[in-house]
A and B are shown apart, each in its own frame.
Chain A
Amino acid sequence: MSAISIKKLNKFYDSNHVIRDASIEIESNSFTVLVGPSGCGKSTILRMIAGLEDVDSGTISIDGNVVNSLHPKERGIAMVFQSYALYPHMTVFDNIGFGLRLEGQRKHEIEAGVSEAARILKIEDLLDRKPRQLSGGQRQRVAIGRAITRKPKVFLFDEPLSNLDAALRVQMRVELAKLHDQLDATMLYVTHDQTEAMTMADKIIVLDKGEVSQAGAPLELYNSPKNSFVASFIGSPTMNFLKARAVAVTKGSVTIKLLDDLELKIANGDTAVSVDDELTLGVRPENLSLVQAPKAHCTGKVSVVEQLGSQTFLYLETADGPLILEADGSTKIKVGDLAPISFDVKRCHLFNKHHQKI
């Protein structure tokens, strides 16, 4: 059963239509990531689920109950804010126990709840401190601790790692994933960082201008993006896009011609394509390779070499347009060299002029 089921959700700010007919299913106990560029409406959806924003049309159900008009505390959710939103005048103990205190729980129940959360997050020795005496990572834990004590059905995370430095972010990513296993709870996580989405999610929902662009498992989105937006958003460095034209269509494949008359035969399903259609060829950096000259599809002049150790990214200028190619870490190629390039035609994507995958 879905923990959260959103149907035909719409939201307007004045005349801005910020969420357009969004329908989302979030499975119980899953770690689902809402991802998209800034301004795509991902935080708005999260805030609507939390009950901080009104729903203009559509329904939000949590555990089968429509919650559109319920108070946040009746929805069974807990939220972790980007800023952590810790109460600066309270100790860590009081911050974590605030919700329990509001529920009118007894002192020993509050103490039990707080120490349970502190134990899970390993912050037992910080309980007497004020938030300003904590580091970013510790504040983050306290904010999560505050969510845990309320034993919610759904945890909502609003870009919780974006205020942390890079190293800590990687560490917290692992810890959040562990926490998800440990608590066995449904988590909905909003981020603009596709790496966070890829590494943590069971399911990714990509939003584009208030619409759900595609939803699915991380590798499903990576390997078979439905449109060029998802193709470009997921994966780093981003997918290469080249202008192309269909020159021959057979069952199961399309032959395309690139700008410099290079012809490639690309495997394709049975979506309608006709000869002379304007298309876009999408190919990921790792599906391009450096080969010996006779086997090459084309050559490109190396303009930038990015060496990451385990792999090297080459920025190439070709007659078909700019390309990024992933070579292995030991490549000796230098800026200004001419690189012979080969396309892995089994792993190329074709998009029509409406940016949909064909």
Chain B
Amino acid sequence: MKQTVSLAPFASPFAGHVEMSKFRKFLPPFLLLSPSIVLLLTFVHIPAIHTIYLSFFSTPKGRRPSKFKGLENYQDMIADPVFWKVLGNNVIYAITTIPASIIIALIMAQLVNSALPGRPFLRFSFFLPVVLPLIAVGNIWLFFYLPGFGLIDQIGSLFGLPNTNILGSSETVLWGIVGVSIWKESGFYMIFFLAALQGIPRDLKEAAYIEGASNWQIFRRITLPLITPTILFISVIATINAFIRIEHLFSMTQGGPNYNSALLLYYLYENAFVFWDTAYAIAQSVFLIVLLSIIGIGQIFLMDRRVHYQ
């Protein structure tokens, strides 16, 4: 606005000049934004739109180029029982790992934020899983779950419990994967909660304490409302992670037995690079993008009213 006002003495009655001054006003911010715009367009938006376009074509094979198939890839997807099974797995995986890892992260953050003895050690041990690659974490847990010899069975045998085969049985394999994910992600979310907790002035808690609030009331009425922006942020991140972090499947179960531990992105990968049915995989990618966008936007709209921004 200011710039337009300062240009006023030079403005002529011709419309062209008005256009010109508008252009001048928007040019500098546009130039400053252009590096990020170019990068985002090149590596995010154009490929995404191109993917949507490609999802309407068949998989190109040797001498047979891809041809337009309309919604056929999507119809195949809807008709594919494995797709529905995998989607179901992923939904269960998301609605268990997200709340569990957020609650555990919050508890750990509270613990390491209080004046406990050995606090640096606690912080270190809670954060350790974060620096390990998920594929290595999968390997570690593979040994924990090992029937008969694994950590879990060793501990279980001390109490006279029978051996387990968590990853080998259709009923339990998904829970085995869920456990790994919670163990891995909680420490990462803890860091954000810790930062949020440390951003709450000590005075506020002291004021509430003097007014007679119990620790639980301080947490419920002061701490929790003040970290809602972080909770929203982490729940969006956690939702995305529940759909895109699948490295542990490679080192642990390869989605088996019988797709009982396969997640959407793993199945997509299999279609694309094991079965080379890229057209079908592309349709699934589009589905995944749309699904995540809807959930993410939905979370922000749903929670926005309850979130307190400072």
Interface residues of A (CB under 8 A from B): 50-52, 71-73, 77-79, 81-83, 85, 87-89, 98-99, 102-103, 132, 146, 150
Contact of B225 among A89, A98, A102 (CB under 8 A): A89
Residues of chain B with a CB closer than 8 A to A146's CB: 207, 211
Contact of B210 among A78, A82, A132 (CB under 8 A): A78
Residue B160 interfacial (CB < 8 Å): no
Residues of chain B with a CB closer than 8 A to A51's CB: 210
Interchain CB contact under 8 A, A102 and B217: yes
Interchain CB contact under 8 A, A98 and B206: no
15 contacts between A and B (CB under 8 A): A52-B206, A72-B210, A72-B212, A73-B211, A78-B210, A81-B207, A85-B201, A85-B203, A88-B204, A89-B225, A89-B226, A89-B308, A98-B221, A102-B217, A146-B211
Residues of chain B with a CB closer than 8 A to A82's CB: 203
Residue B36 interfacial (CB < 8 Å): no
Range of interface residues on B (Cβ < 8 Å)? 10 to 19
Question: Shortest beta-carbon distance, B191 to chain A, in Å?
Answer: 23
Interchain CB contact under 8 A, B207 and A85: yes
Residues of chain A with a CB closer than 8 A to B217's CB: 102
Interface string of B213-229 (1 = CB under 8 A from A): 10001000110011000
Contact of A72 among B201, B203, B209, B225 (CB under 8 A): B209
Residues of chain B with a CB closer than 8 A to A150's CB: 211
Assembly CA distance A81 to B211 (angstroms) = 13
Assembly CA distance A103 to B225 (angstroms) = 20
Select from chain B the residue with minimum beta-carbon distance to A80.
B207
Interchain CB contact under 8 A, A73 and B212: yes
Residue B107 interfacial (CB < 8 Å): no
Residues of chain B with a CB closer than 8 A to A89's CB: 225-226, 308
Interchain CB contact under 8 A, B226 and A98: no
Question: Shortest beta-carbon distance, A201 to chain B, in Å?
Answer: 23
| Contact (A88, B210) CB under 8 Å given A81-B203, A83-B201, A83-B203 | no
Residue B310 interfacial (CB < 8 Å): yes
Contact of A85 among B206, B212, B226, B310 (CB under 8 A): B206
Question: Shortest beta-carbon distance, A39 to chain B, in Å?
Answer: 19
Interchain CB contact under 8 A, A81 and B222: no
| Contact (A88, B209) CB under 8 Å given A83-B203, A102-B217 | no
Question: Shortest beta-carbon distance, B228 to chain A, in Å?
Answer: 8
Interchain CB contact under 8 A, B210 and A52: yes
Interchain CB contact under 8 A, B212 and A81: no
Assembly CA distance A146 to B204 (angstroms) = 13
Given pairs A51-B210, A98-B221, 20 additional interface contacts (CB within 8 A): A52-B206, A72-B209, A72-B210, A73-B212, A79-B206, A79-B210, A81-B203, A81-B206, A85-B204, A85-B207, A87-B208, A89-B226, A89-B308, A98-B211, A99-B211, A99-B212, A102-B213, A103-B212, A132-B310, A146-B211
Residues of chain A with a CB closer than 8 A to B308's CB: 88-89
Residues of chain B with a CB closer than 8 A to A99's CB: 211-212
In the complex, which of the residues B204, B211, B217 has the most CB atoms of chain A within 10 Å of its own CB atom?
A: B211
Interchain CB contact under 8 A, B203 and A50: no
Select from chain B the residue with minimum beta-carbon distance to A94.
B221
Interface of chain B residues 223 through 260 with chain A (CB within 8 A): 225-226
Question: Shortest beta-carbon distance, A249 to chain B, in Å?
Answer: 54
Assembly CA distance A88 to B209 (angstroms) = 16
| Contact (A87, B222) CB under 8 Å given A79-B207, A81-B207 | yes
Question: Shortest beta-carbon distance, B201 to chain A, in Å?
Answer: 6
Interchain CB contact under 8 A, B209 and A52: yes
| Contact (A88, B212) CB under 8 Å given A52-B206, A81-B206, A83-B201 | no
Interface of chain B residues 257 through 310 with chain A (CB within 8 A): 308, 310
Question: Shortest beta-carbon distance, B75 to chain A, in Å?
Answer: 49
Question: Shortest beta-carbon distance, A131 to chain B, in Å?
Answer: 10
Assembly CA distance A310 to B226 (angstroms) = 51
Interchain CB contact under 8 A, A98 and B210: no
Residues of chain B with a CB closer than 8 A to A85's CB: 201, 203-204, 206-207
Interchain CB contact under 8 A, B210 and A73: yes
Residues of chain A with a CB closer than 8 A to B209's CB: 52, 72
Select from chain A the residue with minimum beta-carbon distance to B203.
A85
Select from chain A the residue with minimum beta-carbon distance to B205.
A85
Interchain CB contact under 8 A, A50 and B210: yes
